Structure 1
Amino acid sequence: MQVFVFDWTAYSENVDKFRENGKMIRLGKKHFNAKTAVDTYKNHAEAWQELERYGFDGVAINEHHGTPFGLGNSPNLMAAALSQLTERIKILVYANLLPIHEPLRLAEEIAMLDCMTGGRFICGVGRGAPREYKIFNVPMSESRGRFNEAFEVMRRAWTEDSFSFDGEFYKFDDVSIWPRPVQEPYPPIWVPLTGSKESIEWAAAHDAAITPGVFPGPMREDTIRYFAECQARYGRKVDPNKISIMVDCYVADSKEQAVDEYGSHLMYLFNTLLRYDQVWQEDVKKKGYYSSTAFEHLRNGAKGTLAEDDTVFNEWSMDTVRAAAENMPLGTADEIVERIIAECDDAGANNVLLVCNRGDIPHDMYLNQIRRIGEEVLPRLQAHNVTFVPHAQFEQAAS
């Protein structure tokens, strides 16, 4: 099993101090601490080098804008820096948000990164959160069309000597990029699937690796089933090496200690960072971000997907943390290994993205988690090999 650490690179200073009458305000220049940002980037780069020293397979970074939730406004910049600080570890940008960027420029940057990493780059692509469309003034109704066209531009730029493209959103006449990717035909494509039918169909059509759903349960199971059905149309079976799941974990000497040490940082994540300047789904539904058939393949409809506010944005208390911890890999190394392997086996995922640095976790705590996971958990996860995708097998047998 491949083990990555997913790192949002959150602004390391707690911004709750800027609340007014208990409510978080829009943060501006006067609230920004340049030294905090400098330290955030420096400390995370140090942590990523520690991941390589301890033998992790990869680090995952992503793209968000205008929020202390993550300072990865340009994850390709961070990947470029990391490419020169490491020699072995894979670098997954999960993901470049295609609809809000110029695709030819992205194709060039990704080709550069594949060269700079010597072929260690993994190309995640996504549509992005609704708040990104608000920031970049891109109509949400154009999201799907822009995503599809952007990737086609990138694919052709990587694989053809020269090409022309005449789309609704992008037009190019006889262009050719230089340099080209190291990996053939281009870096592996990974895509997060948060429930919508069209994204699953796109992933299958392009034989992309997937991360099906944020949480275990019916939505993830149905996503895998439908992905298997779509893959079968192309004569392919679902490969566990192309499925990953994301798992929060924290190693301590006991579950109680894990909750005590990590709980406040989880609360800060849910109560402040995830909610900051959010575009709520009640408004998203009016903007055409999801099609009318987006969730018809799911037995519970949109329930369990990011299309519902209450699946992610509920207020958390320490009681919430304690209740959640009963079913999460928070606690001893033995419990963490058992829970992660069980969840990977259920999803048929031979890749796991660990999250162990939520919210405003201090740098020394993050490094301690890397070291403890690296010594007590990582070897046992890497020794486990998932070869069977239960929900995909069910679909294939039925068909």
Structure 2
Amino acid sequence: MQVFVFDWLAYGESVDKFRVNGEMPRLGRAHFDPNVAVRTYENHLDAWVELEKHGFDGVAINEHHGTPFGMGNSPNLIAASIAQRTERLKILIYANLLPIHEPLRLAEEFAMLDCLSNGRIIAGVARGAPREYRIFNVPMSESRERFEEAFEVMRRAWTQDSFSFEGKHYNYKDVSIWPRPVQQPHPPIWVPLTGSRETIEWAAANDAAITPGVFPGPMREDTIRHFARCQAKHGRKVTPDRINIMVECYVADSKEQAIEEYGPYLMYLFNTLLRYDQVYQKDVKKQGYYSSNAFEHLRNGAEGTLAQDDTVFNEWTMDTVRAAAEHMPIGTADEIVERIIAECNEAGANNVLLVCNRGHMPQEMFLNQIRRIGAEVLPRLQAHQVTMVPYAEEIAAE
């Protein structure tokens, strides 16, 4: 299996100290400490170098705006820094948010990054969270159109000597980009799926690798099944290299120690970072972000998808952490290996994205996780090969 560490690059100090009567204000200039930001970037870059030293296959970064949840506002700038500090580590940009950016510029930046890294870029693409549309003043109702047009612009820019494009949102005439990607015809395309039917069908049409849902369960299973049906229409069979899962993990000498150490950072994630300045679904549903039949392929409809606020926006306590940890790879190295392999086998995923440094976790604590996972967990995960996608096999047998 390929093993990545997904790093959200959260602001390096807790912002809970800014609460007023328990409520978080809109964070502005007075709340931001540039020294903390400088240290945050330095620490994470150092940690990613450590990933390469310990043999991880890659690092994953993403894009968010206006929030301490993640300071990768421009993941392409971060990727450029990683490319110059490492030699082997794959760089998964997961993802550039296509509808809020100029696609020709993104195509050029991906090509530059692939050259800077000597072909180590994985080009993640996504629509983005509703809050990004509010910030960039892009109508949510245009999200799907913009996403599909933007990627087509990028694909043509990478693969054609010169191209023209006439769409509803983007128009170009006789453009030839320079430089071009090292990887041909272009870097691998990955897309995170939060349940919507249209993105699954787009991923199949473009033979992209997918991350099917945040958690195991019916939504993930049905997403893979629909992906398999769509791939079959294009004459392809879903293989484990096209499936990736994201897994929260933390290694310690005992399960209780892992819970006590990691629990406060999970609570901070759910109770502060994910909630900060969020756009909730009662407002999203009015603005056409999801189509009326976006979840018709899922047996439980939108339940368990990000179209339901209670999928992630819940108040967490240490009791919540303990209950969740009973089903998560949080504990000893042996337990982590067993649970991650079991989840990868079930999903048919030969790529796993580990998350082990939520929130403002101290640098030494993050480095300790990299070293312990690198020594006690990573070799056993990399030695394991997932050979089939069970839910896709079900579809093939129909």
Q: TM-score, normalised by structure 2?
A: 1.00
Shift of 1:334: 0.1
Corresponding residue number in structure 2 for 1:67: 67
Whether 1:80 aligns to 2:80 is yes
Corresponding residue number in structure 2 for 1:336: 336
Corresponding residue number in structure 2 for 1:115: 115
Shift of 1:173: 1.1
Corresponding residue number in structure 1 for 2:168: 168
Shift of 1:376: 0.1
* Unaligned ranges ≥5, structure 1: none
Corresponding residue number in structure 1 for 2:30: 30
Aligned residues with identical type, % of pairs: 78
Whether 1:218 aligns to 2:218 is yes
Corresponding residue number in structure 2 for 1:293: 293
Shift of 1:241: 0.8
- 1:4-53 CA-to-partner distances (Å, cap 9, x unmatched) read 00000000110000001101110000000000000000000000000000
* Unaligned ranges ≥5, structure 2: none
- 1:350-377 CA-to-partner distances (Å, cap 9, x unmatched) read 0000000011111110000000000000
AA aligned to 2:243 is: I
Task: Give me the whole-angstrom Cα distance separating, in 1, the residues matched to 2:264 and 2:213.
Answer: 25
Task: Give me the whole-angstrom Cα distance separating, in 2, the residues matched to 1:291 and 1:390.
Answer: 29
Matched ranges for 1:219-298 at <5 A: 219-298=219-298
**Aligned-residue CA RMSD in angstroms?**
0.4
Corresponding residue number in structure 2 for 1:51: 51
Whether 1:307 aligns to 2:310 is no
Task: Give me the whole-angstrom Cα distance separating, in 2, the residues matched to 1:105 and 1:311.
Answer: 34
Task: Give me the whole-angstrom Cα distance separating, in 1, the residues matched to 2:164 and 2:121.
Answer: 26
Task: Give me the whole-angstrom Cα distance separating, in 2, the residues matched to 1:86 and 1:382.
Answer: 20
Task: Give me the whole-angstrom Cα distance separating, in 2, the residues matched to 1:305 and 1:34.
Answer: 36
- 1:192-224 CA-to-partner distances (Å, cap 9, x unmatched) read 011000000000000000000000000000000
Corresponding residue number in structure 2 for 1:363: 363
Secondary structure of 1:96's counterpart equals strand
Corresponding residue number in structure 1 for 2:94: 94
Task: Give me the whole-angstrom Cα distance separating, in 2, the residues matched to 1:242 and 1:12.
Answer: 33
Shift of 1:388: 0.8
Matched ranges for 1:6-25 at <5 A: 6-25=6-25
- 1:103-144 CA-to-partner distances (Å, cap 9, x unmatched) read 000000000000001001000000000000000000000000
AA aligned to 1:200 is: I
Secondary structure of 1:138's counterpart equals coil
Shift of 1:245: 0.1
Corresponding residue number in structure 1 for 2:147: 147
Secondary structure of 1:104's counterpart equals helix
Task: Give me the whole-angstrom Cα distance separating, in 1, the residues matched to 2:365 and 2:69.
Answer: 18
AA aligned to 2:87 is: E
Task: Give me the whole-angstrom Cα distance separating, in 2, the residues matched to 1:360 and 1:258.
Answer: 17
Secondary structure of 1:146's counterpart equals helix
Task: Give me the whole-angstrom Cα distance separating, in 2, the residues matched to 1:2 and 1:243.
Answer: 11
Shift of 1:242: 1.2
AA aligned to 1:74 is: S
Shift of 1:333: 0.1
AA aligned to 2:216 is: P
Corresponding residue number in structure 1 for 2:373: 373
Shift of 1:349: 0.1
- 1:72-113 CA-to-partner distances (Å, cap 9, x unmatched) read 000000000110000001000000000000000000000000
Aligned residues: 398
Task: Give me the whole-angstrom Cα distance separating, in 2, the residues matched to 1:227 and 1:291.
Answer: 18
Shift of 1:257: 0.1
Shift of 1:320: 0.4
Shift of 1:395: 1.1
Corresponding residue number in structure 2 for 1:191: 191
Shift of 1:347: 0.2
AA aligned to 1:111 is: A
Q: TM-score, normalised by structure 1?
A: 0.99
Task: Give me the whole-angstrom Cα distance separating, in 1, the residues matched to 2:16 and 2:100.
Answer: 29
Task: Give me the whole-angstrom Cα distance separating, in 2, the residues matched to 1:58 and 1:40.
Answer: 20
Shift of 1:308: 0.3
Corresponding residue number in structure 1 for 2:158: 158
Secondary structure of 1:168's counterpart equals coil
- 1:273-302 CA-to-partner distances (Å, cap 9, x unmatched) read 000000001110110000001000000000
Secondary structure of 1:294's counterpart equals coil
Task: Give me the whole-angstrom Cα distance separating, in 2, the residues matched to 1:47 and 1:258.
Answer: 20
Shift of 1:396: 1.3
Whether 1:42 aligns to 2:42 is yes
AA aligned to 1:184 is: Q
Task: Give me the whole-angstrom Cα distance separating, in 2, the residues matched to 1:181 and 1:265.
Answer: 38
Secondary structure of 2:203's counterpart equals helix
AA aligned to 1:310 is: D
Secondary structure of 1:210's counterpart equals strand
Task: Give me the whole-angstrom Cα distance separating, in 2, the residues matched to 1:6 and 1:296.
Answer: 30
